[in-house]
Chain A
Amino acid sequence: MATTMAKALNAALADAMADDDRVVVFGEDVGQLGGVFRITDGLQARFGDRRCFDTPLAEAGIVGFAVGLAMSGLRPVVEMQFDAFAYPAFEQIASHVAKLRNRTRGALSVPIVIRVPFAGGIGGVEHHCDSSEAYYAHTPGLKVVTPATVADAYSLLREAIADPDPVVFMEPKKLYFSSADADLPARTEPFGRAVVRRPGRDATLVAYGPAVPVALEAAEAARAEGWDLEVVDVRTIVPFDDETVTASVRRTGRCVVIQEAQGFAGVGAEIAARVQERCFHALHAPVLRVSGLDIPYPAPMLEHTHLPGVDRVLDTVARLQWDDQPDARWLPATQGSAA
């Protein structure tokens, strides 16, 4: 039956709350309103305002409160209303959520899920479209998960809530209302497993979250150019599945990593480095990256220039040295002018 990612996330929360009394859902506007994206719609009516409730408008407070609730034995699932609004909570996340298990040699664990609607492509004004996944992925102790399909939205969120460790659950806003056939409750591959969404022989596109549909569309368009591209959906940035990504690139010999976030020091850089380290002798071309620009997220009328789209992906695929010649743009100037 066709359902949206938003509805799948809502069903995952409802089913988790029904299965486990310890699960509590809270944040800003998540109660009666059901969240600004309606992900918590109906939860307060069904489970009562002790299980799903609004809080003061304070993100550090929300996450710190979740730490205390988790210490008391509950399983908090908190919503950060938008990516950039989660920044006040960063100290709580980096210094406590991520570290408590380690600081206490396992005596305390804080199995919290921090849901973050993230990334752009929805025409949002500033501070509503940040791709903040690298901040979390760079913080040991956190798991960082981002679904790209409806079935994964359900399954990964259920797994996040059941996980003994804190999970930052990054929900691509532009996919909330994407729809697909999915029989819920769906169970897909577990944390730590990337998935080949489209098999191909000529090159591997590695993508996660909002970049996955872009990669699939690009792979489809690439057929006209004679390229048969494989698409790997990372799904869980932490823990990262080197095995699946490496196996794919060893098969195809070429790799492009795609992320919506600004590129510098991003998750794509980490993936590209890991692929290069592990697949050097199988590579026919350098590992390339496609990303957003290294700029603050632009105003809505300019966001299409920033966002990596099919054309940017195909232009990059074209630079994968199909003629076995070096990429002219990286050659030293003298050599380049002599050529």
Chain B
Amino acid sequence: MTTTPRPVRRASPRTRRPATPPDPARPLLPATEPVRLLDETGTPLPAHTDYPEPPADVLRELYRRMVVGRRFDVQATALTKQGRLAVYPSSRGQEACQVGAMLAVRDTDWVFPTYRESMALVSRGLDPVEVLTLLRGDWHCGYDPAARRTAPQCTPLATQCVHAAGLAYGEAHQGRDTVALAFIGDGATSEGDFHEGINFAAVFKAPVVYFVQNNRYAISVPLSRQTAAPSLAYKGVGYGVPSEQVDGNDPVAVLAVLTRAVAHARAGNGPFLVEAHTYRMEPHTNADDATRYRDGAEVDAWRDRDPVSRLETYLRARGELDDAAVAAVADEAEAYAAALRERMNAQPTVDPLSLFDHVYAEPTPQLVEQREQVRAELAAEQEGDA
């Protein structure tokens, strides 16, 4: 006798599986392509649902400051050739980032710049001579950071990322709605303090916008030697930080994305990471030779994506800018550069005895002794000269 085995009852393929929980990482990830609101010719792209275009008057102001900022930058590079500055790290080509970031924050917000942010700082309204003090060499930081809510330009890489986290947390701790915006370059994202800063900001929900200007080179070392990540904006997800990447030569998109990032932070949602894809048109500094590590064709390709002409094209097409307005802005930029040249031609006075003034709130007895020693040395020098 044979028995027919009873068919095993299987779950129907149509039986509903438990719903997959939503992927918690997904909302933190950047767009797979950098956000753009203008194409490379300055023609507007379809409106972006997440990043509304800033109002026209803000865009006109953005244009004005970018033109002046570029002229400042060119002037500063020229000042190195005349020996008026010891060194100058240019940010020409990065005007959309430098100026866009400053339009995205309030005067009461804190900014944490690096040595490449001179253009951003003058765009924020800081005195250009005070900004260039560091590079002229008569002191380290020439402006008053507390009054201008602008940290000293940071030369050690990425250390400012942690300061921004602490400042933002401290402000929130005291009931103020200050946002901190920390600039950082692509190379510095390899430093431990970038990691520690963004991690602290995330854990303490500190209102910080980390703004990476990825200009593709850390002096000579290309991005491929800094990271194996798809792009730097992908670093946010590991810290639980929402992130975005943006075309850093599209001024409208940079301002739109940063405006949203700042609003996110100010609303108490913690930090936000923005990576702008851009390019430094000049060498690392005037002392660098960029032809040793990048070819002219690459530079030319980026010249075609120039952020200033892109915005000008767009604003002209919209009727927000005409020949007269463009000429007026150009005149303003020339006057700005001329005034800067004039002031930088004056030899700064330095006081050797001031070296002891701010080591401590009160000099130690040993510093008082050394000050007297220097005073005597100076007197002897003067006698020798006489």
Residues in A lying within 8 Å of B, measured CB to CB: 24, 50, 55-56, 58, 60-61, 63-74, 88, 91-92, 95-96, 99-109, 140-141, 143, 164-165, 192, 238-240, 242-243
Contact B357 A60 (CB under 8 A): no
Residues in B lying within 8 Å of A, measured CB to CB: 110, 139-141, 144-147, 151-152, 156, 159, 161-171, 173-174, 178, 180, 192-193, 196-197, 199-200, 203, 354, 357-361, 364-366
Q: Which residue of B lies closest to A65 (CB)?
A: B166
Contact A104 B144 (CB under 8 A): yes
Q: How far is the CB of B201 from chain A (nearest CB, A)?
A: 9
Contact A74 B173 (CB under 8 A): yes
Contact B361 A109 (CB under 8 A): yes
Contact A101 B361 (CB under 8 A): yes
Contact B361 A91 (CB under 8 A): no
Given contacts A67-B166, A68-B162, A238-B364, contact A106 B196 (CB under 8 A): no
Residues on A with C-beta less than 8 A from B170 are 68-74
Contact B164 A68 (CB under 8 A): yes
Residues on A with C-beta less than 8 A from B193 are 60-61, 64, 91-92
Given contacts A72-B174, A88-B192, contact A103 B141 (CB under 8 A): yes
Contact B163 A96 (CB under 8 A): yes
Contact A56 B203 (CB under 8 A): yes
The complex places the Cα of A66 from the Cα of B167 at a distance, in Å, of 8
**Across chains A and B, which 7 residue pairs bring their CB atoms closest together, nearest first?**
A68-B166, A64-B162, A72-B170, A61-B196, A68-B167, A65-B166, A239-B364
Q: Which residue of A lies closest to B162 (CB)?
A: A64
Q: How far is the CB of B231 from chain A (nearest CB, A)?
A: 24
User: Which residue from A71, A91, A92, A238 sits with its C-beta under 8 Å from B167?
Assistant: A71
Given contacts A68-B165, A242-B365, contact A107 B145 (CB under 8 A): yes
The complex places the Cα of A239 from the Cα of B359 at a distance, in Å, of 12
Q: Which residue of B lies closest to A108 (CB)?
A: B145
Residues on A with C-beta less than 8 A from B358 are 101-102, 104-106
Q: How far is the CB of B246 from chain A (nearest CB, A)?
A: 26
User: Which residue from B140, B141, B146, B196 sits with its C-beta under 8 Å from A64?
Assistant: B196
Residues on A with C-beta less than 8 A from B196 are 56, 58, 60-61, 64
Q: Which residue of A lies closest to B208 (CB)?
A: A68
Q: Which residue of A lies closest to B196 (CB)?
A: A61
Given contacts A101-B359, A164-B361, contact A72 B156 (CB under 8 A): no
The complex places the Cα of A103 from the Cα of B164 at a distance, in Å, of 18
Q: Which residue of B lies closest to A67 (CB)?
A: B163
- List 12 contacting pairs A-B, 8 Å CB cutoff, sorted by A: A58-B200, A61-B162, A64-B197, A65-B169, A66-B166, A68-B168, A69-B170, A70-B166, A71-B163, A88-B192, A106-B361, A165-B361
The complex places the Cα of A203 from the Cα of B358 at a distance, in Å, of 38
Given contacts A56-B203, A61-B196, contact A165 B159 (CB under 8 A): no
Q: How far is the CB of B167 from chain A (nearest CB, A)?
A: 4
Q: Which residue of A lies closest to B152 (CB)?
A: A103
Q: How far is the CB of B73 from chain A (nearest CB, A)?
A: 23
Q: How far is the CB of A244 from chain B (nearest CB, A)?
A: 11
Residues on B with C-beta less than 8 A from A109 are 361
Contact B360 A143 (CB under 8 A): yes
Residues on B with C-beta less than 8 A from A99 are 140
Contact A55 B200 (CB under 8 A): yes
Contact A67 B145 (CB under 8 A): no
The complex places the Cα of A67 from the Cα of B163 at a distance, in Å, of 6
User: Which residue from B145, B166, B366 sits with its C-beta under 8 Å from A242?
Assistant: B366
Residues on A with C-beta less than 8 A from B366 are 239-240, 242
Q: Which residue of B lies closest to A241 (CB)?
A: B365
Contact B169 A68 (CB under 8 A): yes
The complex places the Cα of A107 from the Cα of B143 at a distance, in Å, of 9
Residues on A with C-beta less than 8 A from B200 are 55-56, 58, 61, 64-65
Residues on A with C-beta less than 8 A from B361 are 101, 106, 109, 164-165
The complex places the Cα of A239 from the Cα of B360 at a distance, in Å, of 10
Contact A60 B162 (CB under 8 A): yes
Residues on A with C-beta less than 8 A from B144 are 104, 107
The complex places the Cα of A240 from the Cα of B364 at a distance, in Å, of 8
